[in-house]
């Protein structure tokens, strides 16, 4: 039987992190297989109560000291080795951040609301403030999410995004490109464009592998995306 996840290869190839998005985990058996494959336990994961905002939680301590889930936030950053920080998505973009120079990481849950509120900018600025990150040193991966071809929104929302991010984020028939809006935030923050990778996989097109709220509605499960600094990263 095959793996139940997709790797963020541009980050993992550094040897500093484990960075993964799960496939659908529809059964208890699937969940057991997933955790066995990644060699982690569910209790090791730290997550936030996601509210589609732009708050970033900074984690300085080991997971045992935190009530789970954490307070309301849609991004987490840390420099703690072996701490697993995770977000849950079903069309929204999981964004992975690695700064190999300061050995710090971040993960973002970026839906249209968080994107519009510049959550990606907030996460980079938080890493600059707390860990001394230089955005030019960062490696980024935009993980599995809904792609523009499947993400038609209202005229009003498309117009709002165009005013915020320019015409490249929408089509004439109001299909929104959340990836472009978040890449723009990263580049404007100082991350080199060539240091950013984007998954081409679409949650709405591949409901055989992934969950999609746009396709499945309230019954959709959630993909888990996580990143952790490996013990040998320092």
Radius of gyration of the chain (CA): 17
Q: Can you give the CATH number for the domain in which 19 is found?
A: 3.60.140.10
Residue 66 binned pLDDT confidence (cut-offs 50, 70, 90): low
Output the pLDDT for position 64. 60
Q: What is the pLDDT of residues 141-192, one digit of tens each?
A: 999 999 999 999 999 999 999 999 999 999 999 999 999 999 999 999 999 9
As a whole number of angstroms, the distance between CA 217 and CA 83 comes to 32
The domain tally of the chain equals 1
Does the residue 234 lie in any domain?
A: no
Does the pLDDT at position 63 exceed 70? no
DSSP string, 107-173: EEEE-HHHHHTTHHHHHHHHHHHHH---GGG-EEEE-SB--GGG-B--HHHHHHHHHHH-GGGB-TT
Q: Identify the domain containing residue 88 by its residue range.
A: 5-229
Does the residue 105 lie in any domain?
A: yes
Do 119 and 75 meet the contact criterion of CB atoms below 8 Å apart? yes
Q: What is the mean pLDDT of the chain?
A: 94
Does the residue 96 lie in any domain?
A: yes
Q: What is the pLDDT of residues 161-171, one digit of tens each?
A: 999 999 999 99
Nearest to 141, CA basis, from 111, 107, 115: 107
Quick count: other Cβ atoms within 10 Å of Cβ 193? 10
Helix or strand (DSSP H, E) at 89: strand 84-89
Output the pLDDT for position 68. 57
Provide the 8-state DSSP code for 81. Answer: B
The model carries a pTM of: 0.96
Output the pLDDT for position 101. 96
Does the residue 30 lie in any domain?
A: yes
Does the residue 199 lie in any domain?
A: yes
Does the pLDDT at position 59 exceed 80? yes
Does the residue 21 lie in any domain?
A: yes
Do 147 and 202 meet the contact criterion of CB atoms below 8 Å apart? yes
Does the residue 195 lie in any domain?
A: yes
Angle between helical axes of 178-189 and 119-131 (0-180°, round to 10): 30
């Amino acid at each position: 039987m095959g793996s139940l996840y997709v790797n963020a290869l541009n980050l993992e190839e550094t040897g500093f992190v484990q960075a993964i998005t799960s496939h659908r985990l529809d059964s208890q058996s699937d969940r057991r297989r997933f955790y066995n494959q990644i060699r982690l336990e569910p209790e090791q994961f730290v997550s936030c109560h996601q509210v589609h905002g732009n708050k970033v939680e900074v984690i300085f301590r080991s997971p045992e000291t935190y009530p789970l889930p954490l307070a309301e936030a849609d991004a987490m950053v840390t420099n703690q080795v072996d701490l697993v920080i995770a977000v849950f998505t079903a069309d929204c973009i999981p964004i992975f951040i690695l700064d190999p120079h300061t050995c710090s990481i971040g993960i973002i849950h970026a839906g249209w609301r968080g994107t519009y509120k510049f959550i990606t900018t907030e996460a980079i600025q938080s890493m600059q403030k707390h860990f001394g990150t230089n955005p030019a040193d960062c490696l980024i991966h935009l993980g599995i999410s809904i792609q523009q071809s499947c993400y038609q929104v209202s005229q009003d929302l498309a117009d709002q995004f165009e005013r915020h991010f320019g015409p490249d984020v929408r089509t004439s028939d109001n299909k929104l490109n959340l990836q472009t809006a978040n890449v723009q935030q990263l580049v404007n923050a100082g991350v080199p464009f060539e240091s950013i990778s984007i998954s081409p996989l679409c949650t709405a097109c591949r409901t055989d592998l992934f969950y999609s709220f746009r396709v499945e509605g309230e019954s959709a499960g959630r993909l888990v995306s996580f990143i952790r600094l490996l013990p040998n990263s320092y």
